[in-house]
């Protein structure tokens, strides 16, 4: 899936992503700082029916949300992670293999811990401030 969009269209983009047939529940997000990974994840969390405000788990590494249907959503921001050992010690693999939604920013910090069977979203900021999204499921 390839989509060009503006930030005003991000909720519709989140809906399109979640309507992807057989979408994997572990999704990695790849983009430079400031391109909109967290903003897109907030839209996805909202589209899944999470009632509470979502925010980046920059300092806690993971935030947990519950949808109105009782599904669990984990949002990881691994930017401040020092090593894969640190991630493993916090039990990150248990989250990844829980069967729950896992949205992972900065997955390159834990390349050996990301499940092989995952989806990946690549975001790029364009000159006109729009974004290009590529989903590999």
Look at the block and give the residue holding tokens 């005003």: 8
What is the b/e burial string over 88-126, where b = at least 16 CB atoms within 10 angstroms of the residue's CB?
eeeebeebbeeebbbbbbbbebbeebbeeebbbbebeee
Structural domains for the chain = 2-136 (3.40.50.300)
Give 77-117 pLDDT, tens digit per residue. Answer: 999 898 999 998 889 999 999 999 999 999 999 999 999 99
Give 12-55 pLDDT, tens digit per residue. Answer: 999 999 999 999 999 999 999 999 999 999 999 999 999 766 55
What is the value of pTM for the model shown? 0.92
Strands (DSSP E) found in the chain: 2-5, 26-30, 62-66, 72-77, 101-105, 119-125, 131-136
């Amino acid at each position: 899936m390839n989509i060009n969009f503006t930030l005003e269209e991000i909720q519709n983009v989140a809906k399109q992503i979640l309507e992807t047939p057989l979408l994997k529940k572990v999704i990695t997000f790849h983009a430079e700082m400031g391109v909109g990974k967290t903003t897109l994840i907030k839209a996805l969390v909202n589209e899944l029916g999470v009632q509470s405000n979502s925010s980046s788990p920059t300092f806690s590494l993971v935030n947990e949300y519950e949808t109105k249907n009782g599904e669990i959503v984990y949002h990881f921001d691994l930017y401040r992670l020092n090593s894969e050992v640190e991630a493993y010690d916090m039990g990150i693999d248990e989250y990844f293999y829980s069967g729950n939604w896992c949205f992972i920013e900065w997955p390159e910090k834990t390349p050996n811990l990301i499940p092989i069977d995952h989806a990946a979203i690549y975001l790029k900021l364009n000159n006109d401030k729009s974004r290009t999204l590529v989903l590999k499921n």
